[in-house]
Amino acid sequence: MSDQIGKIDQEKFAALIRKRVAFATVMTLVMLGIYYGFILVLAFDKELWSTKVGEHMTLGIPVGLIVILSAWIMTGIYVSWANKTYDDSVRDIIHGMRGR
Amino acid sequence: MNDFTTTIGQPNTISIAFFFVFVAFTLVITYFAAKKSKSAAQFYAAGRSVTGFQNGLALSGDYMSAASFLGIAGLVSLKGYDGLIYSIGFLVGWPIIMFLIAEPLRNLGKYTFADVVAYRLRQKPIRIASSCGSLMTVAFYLIAQMVGAGSLVKMMFGLNYEAAVVVVGVIMIAYVLFGGMLATTWVQIIKAVLLLGGATVVVLLVLAHFDFSPVKLFDAAALKYGDKVLAPGGLVANPWDALSLGIALMFGTAGLPHILMRFYTVPDAKAARKSVFYATGIIGYFYILTFIIGFGAMVLVGQDMITKIDKGGNMAALLLAEYAGGTVFLGFIAAVAFATILAVVAGLTLAGATTFSHDLYVNVFRSGRASEEEEVKVAKRGTVVLGILAIALGLAFKGQNVAFMVGLAFAIAASANFPALVLSITWKNFSTAGAVASIVTGGILAVGLIILSPTVWVDIFQYKTAVFPWKNPALVSMLAAFAAGGLFSVLMPDAEARAKYDEQVIRNYLGVGAE
């Protein structure tokens, strides 16, 4: 394996790692923000989620459903990013490794 | 409206018939899978032949347990909104798996998550420590499932608890022993489709009573039991406990051995990532269904009726199915619920057997020098031992709350498994001592604090006050596991592990050299 490291375009590879780490970190932080935002309100100010938005309906129900939906959308964003951007860069780097 | 009489508790011929069809069909699949379960990669990882969509369904099948179907529907039917808090927690771990775990796991490992932790580190100490974390998680989860199986079948058919546990154990052993991962995967897929289909029909039947408007259903619930059912209530009395529960559910998902193991059944990291997308969508949809089923049961069946049949509310979904769809439909849903438990225990047992054989026998006992035949042979023996153990545990833990026992497994997974896995993937300076310290600290704290918590110390040991005030220890135990991992990696560095990091990074990001 160690000789393969020499063949890798180090600059491109470093850029790839930076890109992926940055994207994954942002996505993780957004998800943590959404979920713990929901939980912290629940833990320290649950009256907010009890606010009425209809005759009986509370704010907590649509918010909870949005949290569920957002989890799925986030995974969708990640997949489409990885399919479009990440995989191409990986192919490019591997191609470069074999080419030299 | 609430005075319908239920046939739950009497032998239901239709249900038994449905269940036999399911078992017969899945055993036929097992028979064909048996021919393709000879090599280690076939037995543990279905020959890495599962597609992203299939694995998404199988992941959902593994994850949508009886606890999440019957337990959460029951919780919603009795407590209302609070049940949704659990559902959300169970779901939000999936994006975390996607962003941090799925692709590195697929690229770096072979059959278990310990493969990844041990990639650069010294094999024996890591394998022993992570096997303990794995096996504890699997054991607690198994107990919950077996207890659920016993009480469910007892309540549904009036059949004896012990007999039900034995039946589940024996069928599950047959799937795993003969069909390996391929049969287990197809059992999960079939069960997932049946469960989603069944739950969708229940929801449609319920909503038909409310002009297909969920809002009208919620309004009816509020009129019947007060507005409090639509707002967060007393389930999370202590704010820190709520936060701690959130941590256990979110990061525990990303540390469940039977879930992590599924990522090795797909051909590459791309398929692994796709499967998380499908799984998250399916599971999210399923939790929205259980929320509506819970409220449907609350309004249409009524809380008095639900608690009369089972104090914990576990029969709410089945009562609703009978109310809305009659005895035949009850039979179908009950059979699906039973199949659900069967599928989940099969997945757990396979994960346990793989840990036992691949991590402990091959990499510790035989120092990595066992032939593939020996490895599969030991895995099959492990399956039988674990299956019998599962039956014994199911009998020993009769009468415990199902959803709560799953919570224990999640706390251990979040504390013992997840921190070591993430650190080994992302941190160059992570050392063997750091990994062992992290796993041991997380595992001991999670289990120890649970024993000292109100749920065990007060409810089981009957002491007046708990030593540890929260029901969920993950906030403490997971952070301590990260801290221990960091501290011991700095104090006892591992030059060899550092040196291998560059190679790990290439395989992690490019998939070069992945199995």
Nearest CA in chain A to B274: A79
HSE-up of B417 (CA within 13 Å, CB side)? 35
On chain A, the residues whose CB falls within 8 A of the CB of B251 are: none
Return mean pLDDT, chain B.
Answer: 91
* Rounded Cα gap, residues B396 and B404, in angstroms: 16
B3 touches chain A (CB under 8 A): no
- The pTM of the full predicted model, rounded to 2 decimals, is 0.93
* Rounded Cα gap, residues B419 and B25, in angstroms: 40
| Residue B492 or B152, more confident | B492
**SS3 (DSSP) at B6:** coil
* Rounded Cα gap, residues B144 and B413, in angstroms: 15
Chain B closest-CA separation from residue A100 CA (Å): 16
| From B223-237, B261-275, B336-350, B479-493, the region with the lowest mean pLDDT | B223-237
Measure CA of the first residue to CA of the last residue in chain A; give whole Å: 16
| Residue pLDDT, tens place only, B69-90 | 888 899 999 999 988 988 999 9
If we measure between CA atoms, which residue out of B390, B484, B434 comes closest to residue B140? B390
Domains and CATH numbers, chain B: 13-399 (1.20.1730.10)
HEC assignment per residue over chain A: CHHHHHHCCHHHHHHHHHHHHHHHHHHHHHHHHHHHHHHHHHHHCCHHHHCECCCCCECHHHHHHHHHHHHHHHHHHHHHHHHHHHHHHHHHHHHHHHHC
Cα dist from B307 to A15, B71, B298, B313, B315, whole Å = 59, 13, 11, 6, 9
Chain B closest-CA separation from residue A39 CA (Å): 6
Taking an 8 Å cut-off on Cβ atoms, the answer to whether A39 and B270 are in contact is no
Residue B147 in tokens: 């207890």
Is pLDDT at B402 greater than 60 in this prediction? no
Residue B12 in tokens: 């239901």
Taking an 8 Å cut-off on Cβ atoms, the answer to whether A71 and B232 are in contact is no
CB atoms within 10 A of CB B240: 15
pLDDT bucket at B105, cuts 50 / 70 / 90: very high
* Rounded Cα gap, residues B266 and B401, in angstroms: 35
B506 touches chain A (CB under 8 A): yes
| Angle, in degrees to the nearest 10, between helices B239-253 and B82-96 | 40
For an interface test with A, the pick among B60, B76, B81, B235 (most A C-beta atoms closer than 10 Å) comes out as B81
* Rounded Cα gap, residues B259 and B35, in angstroms: 24
Taking an 8 Å cut-off on Cβ atoms, the answer to whether B505 and A17 are in contact is yes
pLDDT of residue A4: 54
Portion of chain B with pLDDT greater than 90, in percent? 70
| Residue pLDDT, tens place only, B24-54 | 999 999 999 998 888 999 999 999 999 999 9
Burial class (CB in 10 A: 0-12, 13-18, 19+), A69: middle
Stated as kind and residue range, the H or E segment containing B464 is none
| ipTM rounded to 2 decimals | 0.93
Residue A43 in tokens: 């833990």
Question: Are B285 and B122 in contact, with CB atoms under 8 Å apart?
Answer: no
If you search the block for the tokens 């849903």, which residue do you land on? B333
Question: Are B471 and B405 in contact, with CB atoms under 8 Å apart?
Answer: no
> What sign results for the dihedral spanned by CA atoms B236, B241, B245, B251?
positive
Is pLDDT at A40 greater than 60 in this prediction? yes
Chain B closest-CA separation from residue A49 CA (Å): 7
pLDDT of residue B500: 93
Nearest to B99 among A36, A39, A78 (CB): A78
B98 touches chain A (CB under 8 A): yes
| Residue pLDDT, tens place only, B230-265 | 998 866 668 888 889 889 999 999 999 999 999 999
If we measure between CA atoms, which residue out of B184, B248, B193, B219 comes closest to residue B47? B184
B94 touches chain A (CB under 8 A): yes
Dihedral (Cα; B59, B61, B65, B68), 10-degree rounding = 80
Nearest CA in chain B to A80: B274
Looking at residues B107-121, what average pLDDT do you find? 95
Question: Are B60 and B53 in contact, with CB atoms under 8 Å apart?
Answer: no
**SS3 (DSSP) at B160:** coil
Dihedral (Cα; B453, B457, B459, B460), 10-degree rounding = 130
Residue B169 in tokens: 């154990």
Phi, psi (deg, nearest 5) at residue B451:
-65, -40
Taking an 8 Å cut-off on Cβ atoms, the answer to whether A28 and B96 are in contact is yes
pLDDT bucket at B5, cuts 50 / 70 / 90: confident
Cα A1 vs. chain centroid, distance in angstroms? 30
pLDDT of residue A10: 87
Nearest CA in chain B to A25: B99
Chain A closest-CA separation from residue B275 CA (Å): 10
| Residue B408 or B136, more confident | B136
Strand partners, B368: none
Residue B368 in tokens: 């990595």
CB atoms within 10 A of CB A36: 17
| Residue pLDDT, tens place only, B461-490 | 888 888 998 888 999 999 999 999 999 999
Dihedral (Cα; B280, B283, B289, B290), 10-degree rounding = -130
If we measure between CA atoms, which residue out of B71, B77, B13, B10 comes closest to residue B406? B71
**SS3 (DSSP) at B122:** coil
Question: Are B7 and B155 in contact, with CB atoms under 8 Å apart?
Answer: no
Taking an 8 Å cut-off on Cβ atoms, the answer to whether B510 and A58 are in contact is no
CA B405, B410, B411 angle in degrees (round to 5)? Answer: 95
Where along chain A do its domains lie? 2-99
Nearest to A49 among B87, B100, B231 (CB): B231
Cα dist from B406 to A71, B91, B231, whole Å = 22, 14, 24
| Residue pLDDT, tens place only, B50-63 | 999 999 999 999 99
Taking an 8 Å cut-off on Cβ atoms, the answer to whether A56 and B243 are in contact is no
- How many angstroms separate the most distant Cα atoms in chain A? 70
| Angle, in degrees to the nearest 10, between helices B432-452 and B474-491 | 160
pLDDT of residue A99: 66
| Residue pLDDT, tens place only, A5-20 | 557 888 889 999 999 9
Taking an 8 Å cut-off on Cβ atoms, the answer to whether A79 and B273 are in contact is yes
Nearest to A68 among B81, B250, B288 (CB): B288
Strand partners, A58: A52
